Amino acid sequence: MPNVISRTFLALTIIGLGLSLSSCGYNTIPTLQEQAKARWSDVQNQYQRRADLIPNLVATVQGFAAQEKNVLTAVVEARAKATQIKVDASDLTDPDKIKAFQDAQAQLTGALGRLLAVSENYPELKSNANFLALQSQLEGTENRISVARRDYIDAVRAFNTALRTFPTILWAKTAFAGEKPMAEFTATTGAETPPQVKF
């Protein structure tokens, strides 16, 4: 009988300890960290989707506007630079790597804006079905990028807040002492004024 009581007491103690740990925020930090990493994957997926659309867009424009070689070259080079910068989940705490990634993507966005602006000079290009479809897909991808970035920023903000607020700060200073705040996206210079691109 004493063995049954001691086993029951041990089981209840383990259950009680598990419940108290789960309610005190121990799981909050790794959960929020994994959510932020998942949101970062979404950001990368959307940027990759955009990068995948660019060769077809350049080829379509090139067929109609071969004399715009400088603009086409700028887009291809910006795409190459943007796809070379890799930021994985372990780099999310390094603001310099996030900034380099963001700058390369902003450069590509600018080059794409110039390419689409060139299309104004070519009415036959603007009416081409392939160009219109690619333009629509690119516009949708830019919207997805915006949503993915917003979701990532929200997830990072929740993670960073958990590292500094009670009761999770207790775990952040002890069990998760090695965890650093994650870097957020910042607004690029001139982002307060939207680009003047007409379709």
111-126 average pLDDT score: 86
| Full DSSP string of 47-104 | HHHHHHHHHHHHHHHHHH-TT-HHHHHHHHHHHHHHHH----GGGTT-HHHHHHHHHH
**pLDDT digit string (tens) for 145-188?**
999 999 999 999 999 999 999 888 888 898 899 999 999 887 66
Any idea where the domains of the chain sit in the sequence? 27-173
Residues 6+ apart with CB under 8 A from 48: 83
Domain 27-173 has CATH 1.20.1440.20: yes
Check: CB of residue 72 under 8 Å from CB of residue 62: yes
**pLDDT digit string (tens) for 29-46?**
999 999 999 999 999 999
58-64 average pLDDT score: 87
pLDDT value, residue 18: 62
This prediction has a pTM of 0.78
pLDDT value, residue 22: 53
Mean pLDDT of the chain: 86
How far is Cα 48 from Cα 1, in angstroms, rounded to an integer?
Answer: 65
> Is residue 89's pLDDT more than 60?
yes
Q: What percent of the chain has pLDDT over 90?
A: 52
**Quick check: helix, strand or coil at residue 139?**
helix
Q: Which of 21-25, 77-81, 124-128 has the lowest mean pLDDT?
A: 21-25
pLDDT value, residue 188: 62
Look at 37 and 121; give whichever has higher pLDDT. 37
Check: CB of residue 163 under 8 Å from CB of residue 172: yes
